Amino acid sequence: MSTLDLDLTTGADHLLAQPLVYPGSVCALPLHGDIENLATHRARREMPVLTGSAFADALSGSELTGRGGAHVPAAWKLTAARDAGPGGTVVINGAEGEPGSAKDMALLQTRPHLVLEGALAVADAIRAREVVIWLHESAGASRASMAEAVRERRDELNVRVRMLLAPEGYVGGEASSVISAVRGGPALPQFSRDRVRPWGEGPAVLVHNAETHARLGLLALGANPVATSLVTVAESAAPLDFVRRTVLETDATMTFADVLATAGAPEPRAVLLGGMGGTWVPWTHLGGMSVDPWELRAAGLSLGAGIVHLLPKGRDGLQESVAILDWLAEQSARQCGPCIFGLPALADALRRTARGRDGGEARRIGDLVSGRGACRHPDGAVRMAMSAQEVFGS
Amino acid sequence: MRLAINPAACDGLGMCAHQAPDVIQLDPWGYPLVSGDELEGPEADQASRAIRACPRNALFVAK
């Protein structure tokens, strides 16, 4: 595909020119994915139009929320970071811990300059000292494209940009882990109940994932940052064995059935929506629903990190959930007792449910564990397990 | 006062439950369950003792 085609096919409010397909589970350039270089990026707009307080004002007028799962309004975090004073750090969090997700990787690889645009606009608005790109060591293709993008801009950068390597695993991408690592501590979740100012005292460490930064980049370029949502349709051959992940751009006019048709995926039995700590929904219920955050919220659902994890027809939902819970228990940072001991106990209880012996034990353990970790890891595990009982329990 | 816990600091040693039996119960794995309710009088005294007794400094007064 030429530069010209890209310009014609990617709308001003859009992040992707076409769906990107990732076979297997490794970080490699997707099929049909072209890296947008600085010249192509610039060709879309003259130059960034919004900086400083003009950018902050535009963000306050938008409805942009974080796209990592917690959906905290981006304007709240920017205001808190501005109030914290100059000298802070802006983090591009590219350490997607969700094995079913590929959307942040897709943006880091194909729209690195748009992601940087967002981070640089935020850095300017909060008078930050540096921008940190937080990536898994194994994320080879994302590291290469971001390094090249930074190199292309090296003569015009007025903040330091550095790359930090995240440990592999699920909780290394959790915002408080990233904050700790940026400050030279361990990349482990820290205890904080302040979603808007999770860095505590001192200059801000403002963390957004790659999609949120790309949307902040759209805003800086004068485009609508919330016209679309990115989702990853995750297909697996066995529990946790993802064989095909398709990243595509959706809007509220599309139903989940449209999403699957676009991805070319077969109709599933059910969907785990949001990620490993998401909610199971029967396909009969979800298929006709719009990919609309508001409609989903009204139904008690959330796109979470944008993952549409398919349970194929013929596979057992409770067995699948037990496998996921075992994996989530393994992914614990092993800091908090309720997570260390509660998640294996919850997995065992659900295993008994899967064998037809349901004494309500999973629910009892879930109530005991939920809300008792430093981070939200155990809460997600409990949410997934409870929805599994509801959807697949007899 | 309201009692709060930093779960990442807590090692489940259980001193708090000894000091504040009317305020803190332990879960099946030995980790304290803290309600977050407003405490007064003898219960607040127990909570203060529990905070001082914790070798990991995991308990604190919630703001």
Q: Closest approach of chain A CAs to the CA of B26, in angstroms? A: 11
Q: How far apart are CA A179 and CA A146, in angstroms?
A: 20
Q: What integer pLDDT is reported at residue A47 of this predicted model?
A: 64
Picking from B3, B29, B54 by the largest number of A CB atoms within 10 A of its own CB, the best residue to mutate is B29
Q: What integer pLDDT is reported at residue A64 of this predicted model?
A: 95
Residues of B in contact with A341 (CB under 8 A): 28-29, 31
A145 closest CA partner among A42, A35, A3: A35
Q: What is the DSSP letter of A372?
A: -
Q: Give the residue from chain A lying closest to B6, CA to CA.
A: A191
- CATH number 2.40.128 given to A317-392: no
C-beta atoms of B31 and A191 within 8 A:
no
Q: How far apart are CA A12 and CA A343, in angstroms?
A: 44
A126 closest CA partner among A183, A203, A194, A179: A203
Structural domains of chain B, count: 1
Mind listing the pLDDT tens digit of every residue in chain A (394 residues)?
333 343 434 678 899 988 999 987 666 666 556 788 999 888 877 666 798 999 999 999 999 998 877 789 999 999 999 999 999 999 999 998 899 999 999 999 999 999 999 999 999 999 999 999 999 988 888 999 999 999 999 999 999 999 999 988 777 778 889 999 999 999 999 988 787 888 988 999 999 999 999 999 999 999 999 999 999 999 999 999 999 999 999 999 999 999 999 999 999 999 999 999 999 999 999 999 999 988 999 999 999 999 999 999 999 999 999 999 999 999 999 999 999 999 999 999 999 999 987 768 999 999 999 999 999 999 999 999 999 999 998 6
Please state the separation of Cα A19 from the chain's center in Å. Answer: 17
Q: What integer pLDDT is reported at residue B36 of this predicted model?
A: 84
Interface contact A327, partner B, CB < 8 A: no
Q: What integer pLDDT is reported at residue A33 of this predicted model?
A: 65
C-beta atoms of A338 and B27 within 8 A:
yes
Q: Report the residue from A336, A345, A368 with minimal CB separation from B8.
A: A336
Q: Give the residue from chain B lying closest to A368, CA to CA.
A: B27
Q: What integer pLDDT is reported at residue B58 of this predicted model?
A: 96
Domain carrying residue B19? 3-61
Picking from A177, A336, A367 by the largest number of B CB atoms within 10 A of its own CB, the best residue to mutate is A336
Interface contact B12, partner A, CB < 8 A: yes
Q: Can you read off the two tokens belonging to residue A131?
A: 């921008």
Interface contact B27, partner A, CB < 8 A: yes
Interface contact A200, partner B, CB < 8 A: no
Residues of A in contact with B31 (CB under 8 A): 337-338, 341, 372
Average of per-residue pLDDT across B58-63: 90
Q: What integer pLDDT is reported at residue A46 of this predicted model?
A: 65
Residues of B in contact with A345 (CB under 8 A): 28
Q: What integer pLDDT is reported at residue A70 of this predicted model?
A: 79
Q: What integer pLDDT is reported at residue A340 of this predicted model?
A: 97
CB A247 within 8 A of CB A263: no
Q: Closest approach of chain B CAs to the CA of A150, in angstroms? A: 36
Q: Domain of B16: which CATH number? A: 3.30.70.20
CA–CA distance from A98 to each of A95, A320, B14, B53 (Å)? 9, 16, 35, 39
E strand or H helix at A207, and its extent? strand A205-209
Domain spans of chain A?
3-220, 229-311, 317-392
Interface contact A338, partner B, CB < 8 A: yes
Q: What integer pLDDT is reported at residue A250 of this predicted model?
A: 96
At the topology level, CATH places domain A229-311 in: Ubiquitin-like (UB roll) (3.10.20)
Select A3-220's CATH number: 3.40.50.11540, 1.10.3720.10, 3.40.50.10470, 1.10.8.50: 3.40.50.11540
Q: Report the residue from B7, B28, B30 with minimal CB separation from A336.
A: B7
